Amino acid sequence: MIKRLIGIAMILTLAAGLVFAAGQADTASAAKPIVLRLAETHGADYPTTQGDYEFARLVEERSNGRIKIEVYPGSQLGEERAVIEQVQFGAIDFTRVSISPLAAFSPDLNALQMPYLYRNADHMWEVLNSKIGDDFLDSMEDAGFVGLSWFDSGARSFYNSVRPVKSVADLAGLKIRVQESDLMIGLVESLGAVATPMPFGEVYSGIQTGVIDGAENNWPSYYSTSHYEVAKYFTLDEHTRVPEITIASKLSMDKLSKEDQALIKQAAKDSMAFQIKAWADYEKVAEEAVRANGNQVDYLDDNSAFQAAMQPMYDALSPELKAVVAEIRAVGK
């Protein structure tokens, strides 16, 4: 009897050992997922961040969980310029940024954010979805980036805490925060205002304490950052349409198989429609909330004086970028 019990106990121990070993083998064969990080300046609810989540979801789904992209919203990994630098040397794998600060690293991008370049949003999308847009996505490799996809960012307009702006003269002398972008500095200076480059996260307190008088952005950012609470005058001059872009670090991408690179590129493109829809919805929410707050919203009767003041920016472009601008303007005509 005792012998039989010992026998059974041995068999059980052996069986448990086998199950354990099988469990171990399983864990070893199901390779650990590849975890990559994406930096985003906006908060989790912002439509652009929602687009990032959609991108991450598609990558995880299509790779059957092999590749996970962790989205870090709210500038947790740093402000845009610092994040772009980290993406360049592979410390961060992806980021979604405005092309304004990215143009400091890949200057040709400036051609896509010239003032009053696009006739309207449809024109911009036609350009971005054409070979011109694809060529720009491919053009950043030398700078260490792989361009993946475009997101909507509406049109940017001026706001300030001092006075209503209805003409170029009204902007004279106002201290206006700009992104860390030479093009944006030039744009604000061409209108006679004082350009102050500053990270996005410092703008609210900058206006509140009077370090700057105002800034410029789209409805969603004006609202989500609460800048509208400290800068009551908003002028819909719509001086630029600046596409948002998702980029990958070339160093991070080079570590992946060609198939996984293709999967990521396709997922990024396929997340665009989701963001564009979320953007349109949130633009309305933001506008309604700002108007309900009693902010003064002004329109320009016509923008020809603004355009004329910015013409020297076009004249100063290199012959190559002048040609690209001409190509952009010809799209859809």
Contacting residues toward ligand GTR, per CB under 6 A: 41, 48, 80, 97-98, 153, 179, 200, 217-218, 221, 244
Identity of the residue, 37 or 177, whose beta carbon is nearer to ligand GTR in the bound complex: 177
Cα torsion through 239, 125, 223, 116, rounded to 10: 0
Rounded least distance, CB 78 to ligand GTR, Å: 13
- Of 79 and 108, nearer to ligand GTR (C-beta) is 79
- Tally the C-alpha atoms within 13 A of residue 112's C-alpha that lie toward its C-beta: 31
By beta-carbon proximity to ligand GTR, the closer residue of 34 and 289 is: 289
The answer to whether 113 and 182 have CB atoms below 8 angstroms apart is: no
Residue with smaller CB distance to ligand GTR, 67 or 216: 216
Residue 200 C-beta: closest distance to ligand GTR, Å: 3
Count, residues in the chain: 333
Strand ranges across the sheet with 244-249: 67-72, 34-40, 94-98, 244-249, 145-151
Residue 105 beta carbon to ligand GTR: minimum distance, rounded to whole angstroms: 14
Of the pair 63, 246, the CB lying nearest ligand GTR is at 246
Q: How far is the CB of 113 from ligand GTR (least distance, A)?
A: 11
Nearer to ligand GTR, 113 or 217 (CB): 217
Task: Report the residue number, 137 or 184, with the smaller CB distance to ligand GTR.
Answer: 184
Nearer to ligand GTR, 67 or 99 (CB): 99
Cβ proximity of 152 and 244 under 8 Å: yes
Nearer to ligand GTR, 105 or 200 (CB): 200
Q: How far is the CB of 313 from ligand GTR (least distance, A)?
A: 19
Give dist(CA 36, CA 137) in Å, integer: 20
Cβ count near 154 (within 10 Å) = 20
Q: 133 with 127: CB under 8 angstroms?
A: yes
Q: Judging by DSSP bridges, how do beta strands 244-249 and 94-98 pair with one another?
A: antiparallel
Q: What is the longest distance spanned by two Cα atoms in the chain?
A: 104
Q: Which residues contact 88 (CB under 8 A, 6 or more apart)?
A: 105, 143, 144, 145, 249
Structure tokens at 99: 């092309």
Residue 78 DSSP class = -
The CB density around residue 45, as the number of other CB atoms within 10 Å, is 11
Give the tokens for residue 325. Answer: 């601008």
**DSSP string covering 264-287:** HHHHHHHTHHHHHHHHHHHHHHHH
Q: How far is the CB of 322 from ligand GTR (least distance, A)?
A: 26
Least distance from ligand GTR to the Cβ atom of residue 284, Å: 17
How far apart CA 121 and CA 240 sit, in angstroms, is: 11
Nearest distance, CB of residue 55 and ligand GTR, angstroms:
15
Q: How far is the CB of 97 from ligand GTR (least distance, A)?
A: 5
Residue pair 218/283 in contact (Cβ under 8 Å)? The answer is: yes
